[in-house]
Amino acid sequence: MNNFDDAKTSDTALFGKYFKGMLSKGIYLPPSQYESWFLSTALGDSEYDQIITASKETLRSL
């Protein structure tokens, strides 16, 4: 997204499904598609693998 007009075209219902799918897999995302993810250096490879796997599974289910 580059501007407000782009943001107005967001599919908020689809993001809600993605958010709930990720949450059901133990991944808590920012609750708005307009917010950034902040990852920590405290996370290791296994946590990143869990996030990636959960995201792939959730996206496939949509």
Domain range list for the chain: 11-61
CA 58 – CA 62 distance, rounded (Å): 7
- The DSSP H or E segment spanning 49 is helix 45-61
What pLDDT is stored for residue 37 in this prediction?
85
Q: According to the model, what pLDDT value does residue 7 have?
A: 82
CA distances 41 to 5, 27, 54, 57, 60, Å, are: 34, 16, 20, 24, 28
Q: Among the listed ranges 3-12, 40-49, 50-59, which one has the minimum average pLDDT value?
A: 3-12
